[in-house]
């Protein structure tokens, strides 16, 4: 049987699906300027009136293996999971656990404070709270006559 090459016609784009994807898709990390690689931990980002709250999935790590830095509104989380599998006398058929370096950098908005940041690691989840800078409000100054 002879194989035929059929040209695939482009599918018409559904404007409602495109709009839905823009509104409810995975646009939040891009809004915050997140960079992700294959070894980046999964991240949730939320916001309250007082702070930005970020959680990172980092199962199986120890606190000492996790590092958090903030510079110029760039929050960077790095971690390393060492491969400590016993190989003597074993033939591995499947290895799906991730080992090595993990990193994620997220650019936060200008109202993110550079101090007062809290990071708590519990049950494989790193929760980081970045307070917001209090808004600068105009001060009314009374004008007096001399």
Task: Give the residue with greater pLDDT, 99 vs 31.
Answer: 99
Q: What is the model's pTM?
A: 0.65
The domain tally of the chain equals 1
Portion of the chain with pLDDT greater than 90, in percent:
42
Assess if residue 19 is contained within a domain. no
Where does residue 43 fall: left (phi above 0), alpha (psi -120 to 50 degrees), or beta otherwise? Answer: beta
Assess if residue 11 is contained within a domain. no
Residue 22's SS3 state is: helix
Assess if residue 72 is contained within a domain. yes
CATH code assigned at 70:
2.60.40.790
Assess if residue 17 is contained within a domain. no
Q: Are 103 and 76 in contact (CB under 8 A)?
A: yes
Q: In the predicted model, what is the mean pLDDT of the chain? A: 79
How far apart CA 50 and CA 40 sit, in angstroms, is 27
pLDDT recorded at residue 126: 97
Cβ-based neighbours of 111, under 8 Å, separated by 6 or more: 132, 133, 135
Q: Which tokens belong to 81?
A: 């999971």
Per-residue pLDDT band for 93 (boundaries 50, 70, 90) equals: confident
Assess if residue 139 is contained within a domain. no
Per-residue pLDDT tens for 58-67? 998 999 999 9
Assess if residue 120 is contained within a domain. yes
The sign one gets for the Cα dihedral 107, 113, 117, 123 is negative
């Amino acid at each position: 049987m002879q194989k035929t090459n059929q040209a695939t016609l482009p599918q018409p784009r559904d404007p409602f699906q495109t709009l839905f994807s823009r509104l409810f898709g995975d646009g939040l990390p891009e809004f915050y300027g997140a960079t992700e690689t294959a070894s980046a931990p999964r991240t949730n980002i939320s916001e309250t009136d007082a702070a930005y709250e970020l959680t990172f999935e980092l199962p199986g790590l120890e606190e000492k293996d996790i590092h958090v830095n903030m510079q110029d509104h760039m929050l960077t989380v790095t971690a390393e999971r060492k491969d400590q599998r016993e190989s003597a006398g074993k033939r591995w058929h499947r290895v799906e656990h991730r080992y090595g370096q993990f990193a994620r950098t997220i650019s936060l908005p200008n109202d993110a404070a550079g101090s007062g940041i809290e990071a708590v690691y519990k049950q494989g989840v790193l929760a980081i709270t970045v307070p917001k800078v209090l808004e600068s409000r105009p001060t009314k100054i009374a004008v007096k006559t001399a």
